[in-house]
Amino acid sequence: MPEGRKQVAENRKARHDYYIEDRYEAGIELAGVEVKSIRLGAVNLKDSFCVVQDGELFVHGMHISPYKQGNIFNKEPARPRRLLMHKREIVRLYGRIKQDGYALIPTVLYFKGPRVKLEVALCKGKKLYDKRAAEEERSTRRTLQHMIKEKNR
């Protein structure tokens, strides 16, 4: 992990369900109590996705739990949040998303200094047989590592 980057949440399911082709860093527009809640690690990226609407990029399905001391300042936990990227990057991503099978999926939420950043990946969906093949490859690699470890003892 790069210097000055503190990871808060990761979407592990994205690596299982998609081929990750490109990664982009985006800022995220948040309220103050949401940042406090993120600092506590009360965030879930599991079923989140990104959509381009009216030339702006939004993340849907990202759940940030309400901050306990937030009271009236708390926002809705699963509301759509605007991502901050350059206009030309958004236009380029929109062109790629329009292709069949591509999606923008949030993969990592982290702090870069005092700012909250979201790593967004351009992904292509995996088929069921691709997921099975990846799982089989992972298990064979794991058994080989165990065999090498036992042999070296």
Domain 5-126 matching CATH 2.40.280.10: the answer reads yes
Rounded CA-CA distance 28/115 in Å is 9
CB 68 within 8 A of CB 101: no
pLDDT surpassing 90 at residue 137: no
Q: Where are the domains of the chain?
A: 5-126
- Residue-wise pLDDT for 1-24, tens only, equals 566 788 898 988 888 888 888 899
Cα 58–chain centre separation: 13
* Per-residue model confidence (pLDDT) at position 2: 65
Whole-structure pTM value = 0.78
pLDDT of residue 1: 58
As to burial, measured by CB atoms within 10 angstroms (0-12 exposed, 13-18 middle, 19+ buried), residue 138 is: exposed
